[in-house]
Amino acid sequence: EQYGAGPFGSMYLAALGAEIIKIEPPDGGDNSRASGPHFLGPDDSQFFQTFNQGKRSLTLNLKSEKGQALFRKLAGTADAVLNNLRGDQPARLGLDYPSLSAVKSSLVCVHLSAYGRHNERENWPGYDYLMQAEGGYLHLTGEPDSPPTRMGLSMVDYITGTTAAMALLAGLLGAARSGTGRDID
């Protein structure tokens, strides 16, 4: 997870007492570390700290064998894996239930992507402003007869992050009842 929706959702899970281990890319970490205007030090910003409070974090190259081995070891101790990558990435990086079920059969894998994982747009990136435009929200804000206007807050990120956290909790309840995990899109 990085930047908005995923970190926002898992921030609430951390606030509820979940142990969150955030995996960051090895080339600079979560890109929100460089989001100003308020910086707390090198590679650290108030924006990053706000969305990632209560989490532990490590950088990991999921494209390497060593990174995959360490990730699978961590996944074996987890109840859930949450990502907010493009829809084509979870299976490629081994973050989906078919890839991880042998590690832990009750694992719940939640995928938060702009366009989903199984359609012609699965490899399209998405971010809040774009999704506001796609959803028609830009025409609901601003002044009459003015150009489309973005909402002041990243409402799509906030809503989808919160919804993903709720889906993860529902998935954990289902896994506790059945003993079997699953993918949740």
Which residues are designated catalytic?
A: 157
Element (H, E) at 5: helix 5-15
At a CB cut-off of 8 Å and minimum separation 6, what does 125 contact?
86, 114
The type of residue at 63 is K
Q: Number of helices and strands (H, E) in the chain?
A: 7, 7
Which spans in 52-103 are helix H? Answer: 65-75, 89-92, 97-100
At a CB cut-off of 8 Å and minimum separation 6, what does 80 contact?
107, 108, 109, 110, 168, 171, 172
Task: Name the residue among 9, 16, 2, 108 with its Cα closest to residue 60.
Answer: 2
**CA-based torsion, 151, 1, 109, 88: positive or negative:** positive
